[in-house]
Chains A and B, each alone.
Chain A
Amino acid sequence: MRFNIKKHDGPARLARLTLNGKSVNTPTLFSLPNSVVFSNTSGKIDVDSEDEILVDNDGIKILIPFKFQMLKKDLREIGANLLSKNADILVSPPYVFSPYHIDKALKKSIDRHVKIAKEWKEVVVGKDVASYVLGGGSETGRKYCAEELCKTGYRFLILTYPTSMLRNPRKLCNFLVSMKKGAVPDSLIYFSGPVYPSYYAHLIYVGIDTFDSSALILSAKKGLMIFQDRIVPVNKIETNTCYCKICSTYGPKEINKLDHEEKFRTILSHNHTIAISKINRIREAIRYGELRELVEKENHNSPSLTAFLRLLDHQHYNFLEQYTPVAKSEPLICIGSESYYAPQIHRFRKRVQERYMPLKDLAVVVILPCSAKKPYSTSKTHKKLRYATKSGAKNKIASIGEVIITSPLGIVPRELEDVYPANAYDIPVTGRWEKEEIDITAECLSSYINKLNKDICVIAHVEGALKEICEIVMEKTRKEILFTDIQGALTSKKSLSSLEKLISNVTIHLTGVLSPKSRKIDFYRKITDYQFGKGSGELLIQMNDQIIRKRQLTLVQDRNGIKIAHLRSYGLFALTIQGGERLHPLGSKYLVKFDGEELKGNSLFAVGVSYADPEIRPYDECRIYDAFSKLIATGRAKMSGNEMVQASSGVAVQL
């Protein structure tokens, strides 16, 4: 079995599963084969077949043995029996135990289950194997079971979960995350049992790879038609809203008139189309890195989904963030409150708080509102505001820092405006702020103000809710903020001149202002700090370096013209070998250890990685050292650090 992860979006992944020479792209849907689905129509139940077979569209067959064969036959006999059947992957017979076992009893039962799984591998030599992740209602139990199975070499894990608990988002979310934490990152997770398509996006977002068609069959048997956002009994549909092959052939009334058997087949076929289109939609979203946005949209399908995402964001931020890329090329769309704690956004706020320090030798900080156009400095408003600032400060412009307040990012210092997601987020702007947005932003701004020197003068050119935020911050930090006199719009002549005057008043007597060149270097050091952690800016960019723009690229060169780094489109630095050398004092930070002989081509595969900084996220720039602690390359991570170490396949770093 091979399971190659091609692309991540959060914990979700696009991958290719290869079994017995057959391949399929995941996320996918396993179908119960027609012979099983239709075997009941005669009223006869097929109990003679002891085992069940699931099939994927591309013909992959999973064989699940009957649970209680174990008494009458031994494992070898069961294995021989299953081997004779034509399947691609054989599921080890589960050890059945009470879901209420705890502590020692639970561990013992799981150990027994894993032992069977271990023996199973030896029994069905040469075949691919899968196993159930058991552990009842216990999160730690499931985690332990997944861990142990992965240690035994299992990479195809089957989850079972009572459907009624799908309606309990808290349990579901804790359960899934702890299970995922236990499993090796490149193991396939199959969520078995009736899961309706409205859950797909959320579950895939957490890292589930496949589902089965049982929910589709179940609803078809009940005469329920599944649509993109709802499930309706076929006899209640008035007008046709779907144009799948089935629905464009039959209207709902016609389906209703069909005889029992035909009706079931028709509805099932429709449901299947919808489920597949949903899965394909999710695959596309992962491909374009917009799964988070899709999940936020799907959130509104049911309250339990909303609760699921909220709990996930708040309780499992670390898990989500670990897999969330630090960049993407498309804009990040934040529609509502569910975006406030999206991992990308939350991470930006955290990093600004933890890694970013204000510019050196500032005398004045201007607080500005955000603009719809990103980066801010390209917008009309900001052009006007900056012009006013400049003409107010005259030759002392280097002593002025700018910070933009915005939701849900909190604050964006001017230096970071080109960094993802600040460069590419999109929010509905109405001037009305929610309480939560105000709280988040006020907290970010206070933390920024607290970092400032006492004698720095803070000027705010804002109105409405933003002014309110500044007032809250003023009270919180006991730092005085001077407000400009805004008359009419922010960019009206009077407002602008008020800003200009205020700035000129506070800068006029300044002495010892930084030279524009050192200011420029400091500016880019802030980006480095944000990217690699506090202090890395001074390592990477030295005082006598040159920062130039060449063919629309911002380059950092040393005085001999040797390239150190350049800025990527999403505002983070790409390092050259020389740049990597300069970051040597960072130690293990953003470091990947390669234990092979020689790096060939332009990718480093996960197999060759012996150590990787767990802080590394997809799209992070990292330094690659060989076994003799010599820097051999730099490159862009394709997976997170933990994954590089644990995964046995896939590209870890693009050189």
Chain B
Amino acid sequence: MPEVNPDLANINPDFAHSIYRLRQKYLALHKDGKSKAWISKDRLISGAGSSIYVILATRGCRWALSEYGGCSICGYIYDAKLKEVSASSLVSQFKNAMQKFSNLIPPLGIKIFTSGSFLDDLEVPLEARKKILQLISKNDLISEVTFETRPEFVKHDKIRECVEILEGKYFEVAIGLESSNDRILRDCINKGFTFNDFKKATKIVQKEGANVKAYIFVKPPFLSEKEAIKDCISSAIDVSKVGINTISFNPCTIHKGTLIEKLWKDGFYRPPWLWSLQYILQETFEKAKNQVSRIICQPVAGGKKRGAHNCGKCDKQVLRAIQQVSLLQNLESFDHLECECRYLFYQLFSHQSLS
């Protein structure tokens, strides 16, 4: 079990333990993870464009493998290899992924996910990180680089190194904050860090001349739709004050082998409505857009049972609108959106989410 040193004040031990037990059960059934890559439309800092998404199969997120069980909402750990992955193997994973794409058209961004932290030396050894970033740096088509990490791995020297290698390219460190409310982080998500840790990491990144992207989770477990909306908006306002560049709303997707899946199966949870996403985007565009360069939302499994969805009739239409809003960074696409289910009552489920 890899070593983690979280501040115990930020952990609800009972909650963490119940996640841990579930995690152990599912890890035992684990099959080997593989790297994945795809390309899709995205909002870049320079305007609409596309992004390459590369998912590297590393040994897995340190937090999820720890005795604290990881986050209640995250099942990316099951995509990992769960064993030592050498630097050369990671580099070849990356090369193979990049070979898949021919005739790329700029503007182009690249996003590297490791199902954990790209800056964690245990997951991505130093040489591998260097080599991958060098490869990206050499590719002139790519103008924008994003990778994901937990805030505890954000260190001055590491960021400086990345900035040096990627010279000239727009470079963003993505941190899955999920919420700016520490109680939600502790008692709903089991995140293991606080908003303050996020702020500290942000300061480090900014000092080294790079940028921060914050992921905000839409609808953590135990919250009603209304409470989740409220939390997302206040989180967005909070992070915008810290001076980050990008806010990305991540509506819940129910991963296999997570606590949220169990809650969902037992009727304690429903993924958010697309109407909620619309509302959140509208509000945050109004209240936080001036402080950040972009606000995006790309629902995974949108319209499906396990992802954010509406009644089934209007899902496609609303999803398209949300995509357009992310891409164009204006709310015009939301005009004239209408469906019967829009009137379904949000507040109704407020007690239900309680256990």
Contacts and interface: CB of A to CB of B under 8 A. Distances in A.
Interface of A: 32, 36-37, 40-41, 43, 45-47, 50, 52, 64, 66-68, 70-72, 94, 96-101, 104-106, 108-109, 132, 134-137, 158, 160-165, 192-194, 214, 217-218, 221-223, 260, 264
B241 interface: no
A96 B351 contact: no
A96 B187 CA distance: 7
Interface in B1-40: 12-15, 17-18, 22
B342 interface: yes
Contacts of B188: 96
Contacts of A100: 18, 22, 259, 262
B343 A136 contact: no
A163 B352 contact: yes
Given A98-B355, A165-B266, A68 B183 contact: yes
Contacts of A105: 13-14, 17-18
B335 to A, nearest CB: 11
Interface in B183-210: 183-184, 187-188
A45 B229 contact: yes
Contacts of A217: 345, 348
Given A43-B342, A68-B223, A99-B266, 13 more contacts: A37-B345, A41-B343, A50-B230, A68-B181, A72-B181, A98-B14, A98-B259, A105-B17, A109-B14, A136-B355, A160-B355, A218-B348, A221-B344
A45 B283 CA distance: 11
B142 to A, nearest CB: 39
Nearest to B279: A45
A193 B352 contact: yes
25 contacts: A32-B347, A36-B347, A40-B346, A50-B230, A66-B230, A71-B181, A71-B184, A96-B187, A97-B14, A97-B355, A98-B355, A99-B263, A101-B14, A106-B14, A132-B354, A134-B355, A137-B355, A160-B355, A164-B267, A165-B267, A193-B352, A194-B352, A217-B345, A221-B345, A260-B340
A262 to B, nearest CB: 12
Of A97, A104, A192, chain B has the most CB atoms within 10 Å of the CB of: A97
B355 A96 contact: yes
A221 B352 contact: no
B355 A68 contact: no
A162 B266 contact: yes
A160 B343 contact: no
Contacts of A101: 14-15, 18
Contact of B230 (A47, A94, A104, A163): A47
A47 B347 CA distance: 9
A45 B343 contact: no
Say which size band chain B's interface belongs to. Answer: 35 or more
Nearest to A44: B279
A137 B183 contact: no
B233 interface: yes
B344 A67 contact: no
Interface in B120-152: none
Of A105, A137, A192, chain B has the most CB atoms within 10 Å of the CB of: A105
A96 B299 CA distance: 27
Contact of A164 (B15, B233, B266, B347): B266
A45 B222 CA distance: 19
A40 B354 CA distance: 23
Interface in B151-201: 181-184, 187-188
Given A162-B352, A163-B267, A194-B348, A47 B226 contact: yes
Interface string B272-309: 00001001000000000000000000000000000000
Contacts of A137: 266, 355
B268 A162 contact: yes
A64 to B, nearest CB: 7
B277 to A, nearest CB: 12
A158 B276 CA distance: 27
Contacts of A134: 354-355
Nearest to A102: B18
A264 B354 contact: no
B14 A47 contact: no
Contacts of A160: 351-352, 354-355
A67 B263 contact: no
B350 A162 contact: no
Of A96, A108, A136, A222, chain B has the most CB atoms within 10 Å of the CB of: A96
Contacts of A43: 342
Contacts of A98: 14-15, 18, 72, 222, 259, 355
A525 B243 CA distance: 89
A41 B349 CA distance: 18
Contacts of B344: 218, 221-222
B84 interface: no
B222 A96 contact: yes
A44 B355 CA distance: 28
A135 B355 CA distance: 6
B343 to A, nearest CB: 6
B204 to A, nearest CB: 25
B231 interface: yes
B268 A52 contact: no
Of A67, A136, A160, chain B has the most CB atoms within 10 Å of the CB of: A67
Given A100-B262, A260-B343, A192 B351 contact: yes
A65 to B, nearest CB: 11
Contacts of A47: 226, 229-230, 233
B346 A67 contact: no
A582 B327 CA distance: 91
A192 B18 CA distance: 27
A77 to B, nearest CB: 15
Interface string B26-63: 00000000000000000000000000000000000000
Of B181, B340, B355, chain A has the most CB atoms within 10 Å of the CB of: B355
A124 to B, nearest CB: 20
Contacts of B346: 40, 45
Contacts of B183: 68, 70-71
Nearest to A66: B227
A223 B354 CA distance: 27
Given A100-B18, A105-B18, A165-B267, A264 B351 contact: no
Contact of B354 (A36, A41, A96): A96
Contacts of A165: 266-267
A260 B341 CA distance: 11
Contacts of B13: 105
A175 to B, nearest CB: 12
Contacts of A158: 351
B355 A221 contact: no
A173 to B, nearest CB: 16
A161 B351 CA distance: 8
A137 B318 CA distance: 35
A160 B354 CA distance: 7
A93 to B, nearest CB: 11
A160 B14 CA distance: 21
A36 to B, nearest CB: 6
Contact of B268 (A71, A99, A223): A99
A101 B22 CA distance: 12
Contacts of B230: 47, 50, 66
Contacts of B351: 64, 132, 158, 160, 192-193
Nearest to A159: B351
Of A98, A161, A162, A222, chain B has the most CB atoms within 10 Å of the CB of: A98
Given A96-B355, A99-B355, A164-B267, A40 B345 contact: yes
B236 to A, nearest CB: 13
Interface in B214-273: 222-224, 226-227, 229-231, 233, 259, 262-263, 266-268
Nearest to B268: A162
Contacts of A108: 14
A68 B267 contact: no
A217 B350 CA distance: 14
Contacts of A194: 348, 352
Nearest to A136: B355
